Structure formats: structure tokens, C-alpha cells
Amino acid sequence: MATTKYIFVTGGVTSSLGKGIIASSLAKLLQARGYKVTIQKLDPYINVDPGTLNPYEHGECYVTEDGAETDLDLGHYERFLNSPTTQANNVTTGRIYQSVINKERHGDYLGKTVQIIPHITDEIKRYVKYLGSKKKFDIVISEIGGTVGDIESLPYIEAVRQLKWEMGTDALFIHLTLVPYLSSTGELKTKPTQHSVKALLENGVQPDVLVLRTEHPLSPGLKEKVALFCNVSKEAVIESIDVSTIYEVPIRMRNEKLDEIVLKKLGLPVGDPPELKDWNDFLYRFTNPQKEVKIALIGKYVELHDAYKSISEALIHSGAANDCRVKIEWIHSERITEENIERKVKGCSGMIIAPGFGYRGTEGKIVAARYARINKMPFFGICLGMQIAVIEFARNILDLEGADSTEMNPETPFPVIDLMEEQKEITDKGGTMRLGSYDCHLKKDSKSFAAYGKSKVSERHRHRYEFNNAFLEKFENRGMKAVGINPDTNLVEVVEIPDHPWFIGVQFHPEYSSTVLQPHPLFVAFIKAVLENSK
């Protein structure tokens, strides 16, 4: 295609309306019509990336193959599109300012006063156009974080206003708002949408398409009213009604013709209806499960489910692959004791110990891992979850009293999990972990090999600490095997207990690469084992 087209998605009225899901759903439909699409998130905060943010602040930190620590919306983009994103798909105000300030120090603006307009806005424009310049995509969708009217998002709105002015019909604006329902009068109200569009207009942006989040169907009259007040054509007022699963949104958007309207407005051929058979098959299996299982998800941020977004989504994908609904029992690791663990995991047929950082909650996780090991409950330890399984095994089977990770106890006599040599000199916290994809070789007689069906795999990492190979022989002699090894560094990436129905710990994050159309093989195998155990 000659020129790349750009779609900017803004949000109004409240946050959390699901811009990421709307952007992903539209991208899915365009992809299903044969277009090459990518999605970018522009985040208005000053952190360079979300890697240093507490999950309570921002939910999960998602990691791309190229090792970028990013917003969790990128996880949705990948799960919907089944194609990888990169560092360029997530830009923050911090990153924009960092590169402008670096250029200023370098002398690139010599003689000039460096200002928000044009220097910051130019930098934003450069990051937006960068993805298009790769010639890999027909359409780039940029989602602007925050809500119109926020001081923080102003430079982004200004930058995309300028882009629209430069690009004309090659650019398009979609604005997502809320139509609240007043139960006392039984009415849907359009005023907040009108105000939100006014706020956009004040900044020089006229939306081309309005997507209205609503709890109840919107009447043609209401859509007409919104169209009239907001200078938008009637068919470009799209209803986005609440649905029980985010994976139904592409189908709803398809029914509302969002993709067709967007393509027409961009002057692109609409072509044949989108091919969504596999997607619909998944939806059918997900919404018509034959069985149900419950798994215990043990973590220290369980109050905020978004902290484990990719894990819970991977359980949806792998559940559907097994024709089964997976219910999650969220268990707070800080509240687990020897006395209550049995009660806490009652009714669960499998256990996941989640990733995490720092000492808080780790002793409870160790108690849980021991329970799963002894009671032959399918166990899946992810990153810190694997390290916990190793510590538990060291303490209770190898009799290494006080065995620990040096992250939790730097003075431990048995550092079974320890800092990598190249990490020891690092003091900066941002972007300095082992990040992104690394190769791993699986041993042929392992359950992991059976799950993947191959020995050479590549998985994403986000951690500083590693299995300490000085103890490897002891572990293997007593029944915990290192079955996945990094071929370049010899680091242990997967451990298993062969003498257990399904006990696997992985140093990487399989959840990041599970998608609707390609559920992660380890999650699929785990759910299969959980189903077995539930019989």
C-alpha cells in the first residue's frame, strides 16, 4: 500500500472505558480483512517506562520480545492480533522528554529555546510516524492514554491534531466516551459525550467516529442526537455495549460496522467480510464450556486482578483449548500459613505461584508450594513462583536450613537462587533486569518438552535472580530436575519434579505470549493436568 494510514484513539468522560480493547478489536477486524495493522500506546506519565511502577499503581508490566517493559494494553494488542509488539509500540512522556533533553544536551537545538510546542510535540509525532516508516504496516493505530481534558495528555492531543492537519484523509480520529444510565429516570444521558467532544474541539480535534460505551442499547434517536451535537455522521456513532468477555468486542464492533466505516473514511477498499472463523470457534468454546475447574492463583497483589492480567488471560485461552472454564481462586500469599493452606486451596485442582519482587509474601508462597508438592496438586511456578519451588525443595528435601534467594535474604547460608554475575554491579533499577526473549533447550524426557512438542523454544524474561548452578547436582539427585537450559549461558530456565503428576517451574513468563489463537502450550498442558486431577 502506498501510504500508511493513522488512526488516533482518544477517550473522554472517564478513564477505564476500554480504549485498548476497542483499539485491539478494530485492529483485529482490519487484520481479518487483510490489512497489516499495529497498535501503539502513548502514555502520558513521566516514568520512562512502567517497569519501576508498583503493580498497585499500574497493573501488570507487560514485556515484549525485544525486552521493553510496557503497559498492559500491549498484552491485549498481542493477544488479539497474534503478532508481537516492540519497544516502539509503547511511548511515555518520560521517554519523549528524555530524548528531547538528550538532543538538547547534544546541541541539536543549538540557539533555540526548547519548548513543548514544537519540540515535545515534534518528538511525539516522530514516535507515531516511526512505526509507519518501517513499511511493515498499512495502518497504525495510536491509543492516547488518559482522558481528554487531562493536563498530561495535552501535548499528545496537540501532536495528533498537527498530524491530522498534515495527513488529511490519511488520518482519522476515534473518540470513546461513556453514555451513563440514570436508573432513577430510566434514561441514557448524552451530555457527558457532548461535553467531552467539546473539550476535544477546543483543542482543535474533530472526531470522525464516536464509540459510546453503554450498559443499555442506544436508540437510533439517541445516536442521531449525538451525531447532530458532535458533527459526526450518524453511522459513525457506534454502540459499545457491556459484554461478558472482552473477546466478544470484535464481533460487536463488526456488527456495528466500525471497521467498514473506518476503511471508508480512510479511503481504503472495504473488500470481503472479515474472516473470523477461528475467533468465533474460540468464543464458542469459551462461552460453552463442557467442564469447570478451579485453580489457586497465589500472589501478593491479588486485590488487583490487573496485576496478573496476562496470567488470567492465558488461563482463559488454555481453558477454552480444553473446553473448560477456569475459575481463579485469588489467594493472598501474605495470609497463608501452615495451618490454613489446606482450607485456602480447598476445591482447587491446581496451583499457580505468580511472579513478584521482594520478601513480602514469600514465606506464604513457600508453604503453598510445599502443599502442592506433597499433595500431588498440579503446580505451575512462574518466575518468582519457580524460585519459590526451588527454595522450598532446598529447605524441605535437601535439608538446607535457611536456603533462600539472596533477593529475600542476602545473608542466607544456602543461596539456591542468586544474582547473576553481570547483575552484581548494576545499581540503576530502570530497564536493567534480564528482559525479553531468550532461547531455552528442553530435555526430551520432560513434561515441558511433551507440552511444546519441540526442544528449542524462546520465551520472555523479566528478573534479576537465577537458579544457582552450584546446587544443581544436589537438586537433581533428590528429584528436582533442570529440564530447560539456556544454551548460551547454561542458566536453568525450567525445573520439574518427574515424580509428581505435573510440577513445573519456569524462570520465564509464558503468559506474555499466550494469545487467543495460540494458547501457550505450557498453560494448555497445565489445565489438562488440572482437569485430570479434578476427576
Please report, as ranges, the residues that interact with ligand GLN according to CB under 6 A.
Answer: 355-357, 383-384, 407, 462-465
89 Rama sector, left if φ>0, alpha if ψ -120 to 50, beta otherwise: alpha
Task: Report residue 169 as a C-alpha cell.
Answer: 484523509
Q: Give the nearest distance from C-beta 350 to ligand GLN in angstroms.
A: 19
User: For residues 99 and 423, which CB has a smaller minimum distance to ligand GLN in the complex?
Assistant: 423
Q: Which residues are catalytic?
A: 383, 509, 511
User: For residues 20 and 55, which CB has a smaller minimum distance to ligand GLN in the complex?
Assistant: 55
Question: How far apart, in Å, are the Cα atoms of 377 and each of 226, 274, 341, 349, 351?
Answer: 55, 43, 13, 6, 7
Burial degree of 110 (CB within 10 A; 0-12, 13-18, 19+): exposed
Rounded to whole angstroms, the Cα distance separating 20 from 26 reads 10
Rounded to whole angstroms, the Cα distance separating 303 from 55 reads 11
User: For residues 239 and 404, which CB has a smaller minimum distance to ligand GLN in the complex?
Assistant: 404
Q: Give the nearest distance from C-beta 504 to ligand GLN in angstroms.
A: 15
Q: Give the nearest distance from C-beta 227 to ligand GLN in angstroms.
A: 47
Element (H, E) at 320: helix 309-321
Among 173, 149, 383, which residue's Cα sits nearest to residue 265? Answer: 173
Find out whether 347 and 296 touch, Cβ atoms under 8 Å.
Answer: no
Q: Give the nearest distance from C-beta 255 to ligand GLN in angstroms.
A: 40
Q: Give the nearest distance from C-beta 434 to ligand GLN in angstroms.
A: 8
Cis peptide before 207 (omega within 30 of 0): no
Q: How many CA atoms lie within 13 A of 194 on its CB side?
A: 11
323 Rama sector, left if φ>0, alpha if ψ -120 to 50, beta otherwise: left
Q: Give the nearest distance from C-beta 385 to ligand GLN in angstroms.
A: 7
Dmax over Cα atoms in the chain, in whole Å?
A: 75
Q: Is 419 helix (H, G, I), strand (E, B) or coil?
A: strand
Find out whether 350 and 379 touch, Cβ atoms under 8 Å.
Answer: yes
Find out whether 334 and 360 touch, Cβ atoms under 8 Å.
Answer: yes
Amino acid letter for position 134: K
55 Rama sector, left if φ>0, alpha if ψ -120 to 50, beta otherwise: alpha
Cis peptide before 118 (omega within 30 of 0): yes
Task: Report residue 522 as a C-alpha cell.
Answer: 505450557
- Distance in angstroms between the alpha carbons of the first and the last residue of the chain: 54
Q: Give the nearest distance from C-beta 79 to ligand GLN in angstroms.
A: 19
Q: Give the nearest distance from C-beta 347 to ligand GLN in angstroms.
A: 26
User: For residues 45 and 357, which CB has a smaller minimum distance to ligand GLN in the complex?
Assistant: 357
DSSP state of 295: E
Phi, psi angles (nearest 5°) of residue 526 = -60, -50
User: For residues 256 and 334, which CB has a smaller minimum distance to ligand GLN in the complex?
Assistant: 334
Q: Give the nearest distance from C-beta 328 to ligand GLN in angstroms.
A: 18
Find out whether 296 and 352 touch, Cβ atoms under 8 Å.
Answer: yes
Q: How many CA atoms lie within 13 A of 192 on its CB side?
A: 18
User: For residues 132 and 355, which CB has a smaller minimum distance to ligand GLN in the complex?
Assistant: 355
Task: Report residue 74 as a C-alpha cell.
Answer: 500491549
Edge-to-edge strands, sheet with 415-419? 404-405, 415-419, 465-467
Looking at the chain, how many residues does it have? 535
Element (H, E) at 391: helix 384-396
Q: Give the nearest distance from C-beta 407 to ligand GLN in angstroms.
A: 5
Task: Report residue 119 as a C-alpha cell.
Answer: 519540540
